[in-house]
Each structure stands twice: as structure tokens, then as C-alpha cells.
Amino acid sequence: MLKPLVLVVEDEPAQREVLLYNLAAGGYRTAAAADGEEALLRIEEEAPDLILLDWMLPRVSGIEICRRLKARPETRAIPVIMLSARAEEVDRVRGLETGADDYMVKPYSMAELMARLRTQLRRTRPAGVGEMLRYEDITLDPETHRASRAGAPLDLGPTEFRLLATLMERPGRVWSREQLLDRVWGRDAYPDTRTVDVHVGRLRKALKKGGGGDPIRTVRGTGYALG
């Protein structure tokens, strides 16, 4: 759950496979789409943390997808790295001001692409990949699945752990119950939103066990935030 999800939108099967392989090896979760329509569906299913977007795609072009994503408040913040076959296309991408966050010309160096991808993710996910998350006296290690408060280990179930990790990714951000369901339970599970309240309750209890205050804020009519 904590690994960033990278969506690869590429119609060439061989190029798509190479990207998916390298991303998985780099510790990312991956999703793939072979054309523009499929890409939009994948994004609806689960908002990725970053999109590698081929320029020339069947049905809906990469440019058009980028434009649509950057026009919607819900998807605007998702970094897009555009992959283009020719340098002239990159110039056009720039000229069109599609809002792509970065560009790579094919054939690109995989090492460079991964480096640029990390840069983009650091911008939107300050905690980075597999790094320790910290908020005030709370620390959470996504690698070892351990969390502690003021140095004392927290006794969390797997759901509470994912919930805390999600909240700690972006302190201050207000998450709706639906967004938390997506992130913590996944799109395939459909518990009702009351389930979120139950698990937030358990998480609060675990966090306050050592005598600390309640760091989780209930935002009336919306959801929850850390701090």
C-alpha cells in the first residue's frame, strides 16, 4: 500500500514490459494501459502517484490525456512524465503547454528515467520510497511495518497501520472516507464508510495508549486529517 503506484501508458508491448519490469525492480507498484481510453479507466480505478505517458497512443493521445488530467482538480497534482519518440515532439509538448511535469525522448536511458521519476515523486510524496515517516513524536517504518510514538512501539493491526501511514504521508491533508477506503482497503473491497470510522477509532486508541494526545482531526462532513 505504501509503495507509490506508477501507471505506464504505452502502446508498444515491448517498451511497456521493460518499463513495468524496471519499476517493479525499483520497488514501485505498477499499473499499465495500452491506449488512452484504458489509461483514463485505470486512473479512475485508482489514482496513481505518477504517470509515464507515451505521446503517440491509439484512441486518445498522450497530449489529450495530459490536458484532461491537468484540467481536473482531483488529478492535477499527479506528476506526468511524457515519453516521446522524437525531440521535435518534445518541443511541441512544451509548446502546447499540456502541463506535463517532465519529458523524455526515446530511446531514453532507463537510469535517467528512474532518477527523474524519483525527483517527481519526492516533490509530491515528500517521504519518498520506503523512507521512515515522521509526524511529531510518531514514527512509522514502511519497510519493517513498525510504528512507534515517543519511542514506544504502537500495537497496530494491518489496517490501522496502513491508515496511519496514509495519514502520515501528508500531514494536514484532509482525506475523505471514500479516499481512505480507496487507499487503505483498495478498490476491490467495498466496506461501507462506517468501517473507516471504526478503524480510525481503533487507531486513535492505539495512539493515545501511552498517554499522548489525539493527533487525528475529524473534519465534520468530510473525513480525517493528521494534525
- Binding region for Ca ion (CB under 5 A): 11, 54, 56
**Residue at 51: amino acid letter:** I
For residues 54 and 160, which CB has a smaller minimum distance to Ca ion in the complex? 54
Bridging pattern class, strands 102-105 and 133-135: unpaired
**Nearest-approach distance from CB 62 to Ca ion, in angstroms:** 8
For residues 11 and 46, which CB has a smaller minimum distance to Ca ion in the complex? 11
**Nearest-approach distance from CB 61 to Ca ion, in angstroms:** 9
**Nearest-approach distance from CB 54 to Ca ion, in angstroms:** 4
- Which of 46, 55, 48 is CA-nearest to residue 10? 55
**Nearest-approach distance from CB 52 to Ca ion, in angstroms:** 12
Handedness of CA 158, 160, 166, 171 (dihedral sign): negative
For residues 15 and 139, which CB has a smaller minimum distance to Ca ion in the complex? 15
**Helix (H) / strand (E) containing 35:** none
Q: Which residues pair with 30 in a beta bridge?
A: 6
Contact predicate 133/127, CB 8 Å = yes
Q: SS3 for 113-134, per residue?
A: HHHHHHHHHHHHCCCCCCCCEE
For residues 84 and 120, which CB has a smaller minimum distance to Ca ion in the complex? 84
For residues 104 and 129, which CB has a smaller minimum distance to Ca ion in the complex? 104
Contact predicate 120/81, CB 8 Å = yes
**Nearest-approach distance from CB 31 to Ca ion, in angstroms:** 17
